[in-house]
């Protein structure tokens, strides 16, 4: 096959993965083909990334070793139907569509394709994504590792059983939205105490980034790190008491539960 990676649906997620893989030199522009729907978009992406950009999904499917389909869930079956007869045997096909199961995709193909379901998040657009990969049982490990390396070019990636994908969707898939809300609220607190808005947002965002990094780098339990910041009779314990009183912890737990349940409902629609 002519191209190592083909992308159908170069929107927010598709373009972010492309941009990360090129920036990390995991792929060079000549390794990539993608399809878009309008000539203007095609021209923009070709000029920006110097990849082969076409207007035909079939052309991409026919020539790609790894095929990333990053269209909306409501469009994916239309795309699978369009490419099913032309896709070469053994293509590694990755779908980022939320709530679309491996089984429902598998039934669209009569030939053997190596299917992998991926749940990335918006962090991929800045190289700090979190992606869970659920391979079909028949997908070989070397294909899984290849796809893992692709997503590691734009953040972290781990391989999980498909049964966990709803929970992943409710936690890390939707999670950036929860954290944006938290950053906004922390910044509002700073503004209430007289800080300029931009300063407040920077303080809040970098604080969240630093806290996240200490968890990942040290591998410590978050509760232990929290204890390190909390001086006896200091100011932090007063702040924590307010958060407990406001039910922050249980509210976040419930947010993950609700979003996971919704992901599951979408799946069975």
Ligand X SMILES: NC(=O)c1ccc[n+]([C@@H]2O[C@H](COP(=O)([O-])OP(=O)(O)OC[C@H]3O[C@@H](n4cnc5c(N)ncnc54)[C@H](OP(=O)(O)O)[C@@H]3O)[C@@H](O)[C@H]2O)c1
Q: Which residues bind ligand X (CB under 6 A)?
A: 8-14, 35-38, 41, 57, 70-73, 75, 78-79, 96-98, 119-122, 173
Q: Interior CA angle at 256 toward 253 and 261, to 5°?
A: 125
**Least distance in Å: CB of 73 to ligand X?**
5
> Is residue 65 within a helix (H) or strand (E), and if so which, with residue range?
strand 64-69
Name the residue nearer to ligand X (CB basis): 70 or 114. 70
Name the residue nearer to ligand X (CB basis): 184 or 188. 184
Among all residues, whose Cβ is closest to ligand X? 11
Spatial distance between the Cα atoms of 47 and 26, rounded to a whole number of angstroms: 20
Spatial distance between the Cα atoms of 240 and 146, rounded to a whole number of angstroms: 43
Name the residue nearer to ligand X (CB basis): 78 or 140. 78
Name the residue nearer to ligand X (CB basis): 83 or 144. 83
Q: Interior CA angle at 69 toward 57 and 262, to 5°?
A: 135
Counting Cα atoms < 13 Å in the Cβ hemisphere of 17 gives: 34
Q: 77 burial class (0-12, 13-18, 19+ CB within 10 angstroms)?
A: middle
Contact 94, 69 (CB under 8 A): yes
**Least distance in Å: CB of 39 to ligand X?**
11
**Least distance in Å: CB of 51 to ligand X?**
15
**Least distance in Å: CB of 3 to ligand X?**
16
**Least distance in Å: CB of 19 to ligand X?**
12
Name the residue nearer to ligand X (CB basis): 139 or 173. 173
């Amino acid at each position: 096959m002519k191209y190592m990676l083909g992308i159908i649906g170069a929107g927010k997620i598709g373009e972010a993965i492309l941009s990360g893989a090129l920036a990390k030199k995991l792929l060079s522009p000549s390794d990539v083909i993608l399809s878009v729907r309008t000539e203007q978009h095609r021209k923009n992406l070709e000029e920006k990334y110097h990849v082969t950009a076409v207007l035909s999904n079939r052309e991409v499917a026919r020539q790609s070793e790894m095929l990333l389909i990053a269209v909306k869930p409501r469009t994916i079956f239309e795309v699978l139907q369009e490419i099913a007869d032309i896709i070469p045997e053994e293509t590694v096909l990755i779908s980022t569509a939320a709530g679309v199961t491996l089984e429902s995709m598998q039934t669209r193909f009569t030939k053997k394709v190596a299917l992998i379901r991926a749940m990335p998040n918006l962090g991929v657009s800045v190289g700090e994504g979190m992606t869970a990969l659920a391979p079909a049982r028949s997908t070989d490990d070397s294909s899984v590792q290849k796809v893992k390396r692709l997503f590691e070019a734009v953040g972290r990636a781990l391989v999980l059983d498909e049964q966990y994908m709803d929970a992943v969707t409710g936690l890390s898939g939707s999670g950036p939205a929860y954290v944006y809300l938290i950053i906004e609220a922390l910044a509002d607190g700073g503004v209430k105490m007289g800080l300029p808005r931009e300063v407040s947002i920077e303080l809040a965002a970098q604080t969240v980034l630093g806290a996240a990094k200490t968890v990942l780098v040290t591998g410590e339990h978050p509760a232990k790190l929290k204890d390190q910041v909390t001086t006896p009779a200091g100011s932090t314990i007063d702040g924590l008491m307010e958060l407990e009183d406001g039910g922050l912890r249980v509210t976040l737990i419930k947010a993950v539960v609700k979003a996971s349940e919704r992901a599951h409902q979408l799946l069975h629609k």
